[in-house]
């Protein structure tokens, strides 16, 4: 009897550990390759799970980016962890946006879906398979660098943000997200308070760093390269 209870408890603990490792934290404690593999095998479900709301995306993603880039006629944007092309498709769909976007992501199947979505904007969208560290671009290349809902899944958010800052042009804008909400604590020492996140960006040389509440699970954080 005691043996069966022990086995049952063991199974429950194992199930909870696997749920935490694979579902809640999406493989981040098992290494970069595991994160990318999980995105590859679930890519076909991604947009359905996220169910992006067009109006909210235009208001919270397109509008602030357009505002920061309003004085640049043809901005060049880098979207790190582009996924299925969320940011690129909403930006390029905006009639008043005349810029170009490079989307970078290591998960081939996420990029394949992005390519389908971005086909109508072929001449203004480019997709690159790669990771956030190192970014395969020269210093001071982009008017804006974005990274939505992804930093907590990278091996080091700080190293990735340093790379994003490096490739930003002076005066360029960074738009990223900080994980918050009830699940943030499951990321253990990878979770950062608003103050910690803002001071990390300031230490990287960004100015005017500010946080805007966005969704239950994410803040948006903006900064400019001085
Ligand atoms: C939650 S999705 C976000 C995708 C997109 N930014 C969005 O908002 O829909 C996280 C993305 O991060 C990508 N990713 C995971 N590890 C990465 C890394 N080390 N460098 C760059 N991207 C990575 C995944 O392949 C996945 O597409």
Confirm if 97 and 91 have CB atoms less than 8 A apart. yes
- How large is the C-alpha radius of gyration of the chain? 19
Give the mean pLDDT of the chain. Answer: 96
Nearest residue by C-alpha to atom 10 in ligand 1:
150
Q: What value, to the nearest 5°, has the Cα angle with vertex 61 and ends 134 and 144?
A: 40
54 CA distance to ligand 1 middle (Å): 20
39 CA distance to ligand 1 middle (Å): 8
DSSP 198: H
- Spatial separation of the C-alpha atoms in residues 86 and 15, rounded to whole Å: 32
pLDDT digits (tens, 9 = 90+) for 169-179: 999 999 999 99
pLDDT for res 140: 98
For residue 35, the number of C-alpha atoms closer than 13 Å in the C-beta half-sphere is: 19
pLDDT digits (tens, 9 = 90+) for 72-95: 999 999 999 999 999 999 999 999
Ramachandran region, residue 77 (left: φ > 0; alpha: ψ -120 to 50; beta: rest): beta
- Spatial separation of the C-alpha atoms in residues 204 and 96, rounded to whole Å: 32
pLDDT for res 20: 87
> Taking the complete model, does pTM exceed 0.85, yes or no?
yes
| Pick from 132, 81, 71, 68: nearest CA to 110 | 81
Relative to the CA of 39, which ligand 1 atom is closest? 25
b or e along 47-79 (b: 16 or more beta carbons within 10 Å of the residue's beta carbon)?
eeeeeeeeeebeebbbeebbebbeeeeebbbbb
């Amino acid at each position: 009897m005691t043996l069966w209870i022990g086995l049952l408890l063991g199974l429950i603990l194992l199930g909870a550990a696997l749920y935490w490792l694979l579902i809640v934290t999406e493989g981040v404690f098992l290494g970069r390759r595991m994160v990318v593999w999980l995105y590859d095998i679930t890519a076909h479900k991604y947009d359905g799970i996220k169910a992006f709301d067009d109006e909210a995306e235009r208001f919270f993603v397109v509008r602030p980016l357009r505002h920061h880039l309003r004085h640049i006629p043809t901005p060049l944007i880098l979207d790190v962890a582009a996924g299925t092309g969320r940011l690129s498709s909403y930006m390029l769909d905006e009639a008043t946006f005349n810029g170009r976007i490079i989307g970078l992501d290591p998960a081939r199947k996420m990029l394949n879906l992005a390519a389908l979505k971005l086909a109508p904007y072929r001449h203004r969208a480019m997709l690159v398979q790669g990771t956030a560290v190192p970014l395969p671009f020269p210093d001071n290349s982009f008017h804006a660098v974005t990274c939505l809902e992804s930093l907590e899944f990278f091996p080091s958010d700080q190293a990735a943000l340093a790379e994003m800052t490096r490739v930003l042009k002076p005066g360029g804008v960074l738009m990223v997200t900080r994980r918050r909400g009830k699940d943030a604590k499951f990321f253990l020492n990878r979770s950062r308070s608003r103050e910690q996140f803002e001071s990390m960006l300031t230490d990287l040389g960004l100015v005017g760093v500010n946080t805007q509440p966005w969704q239950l699970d994410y803040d948006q954080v903006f900064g400019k390269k001085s």
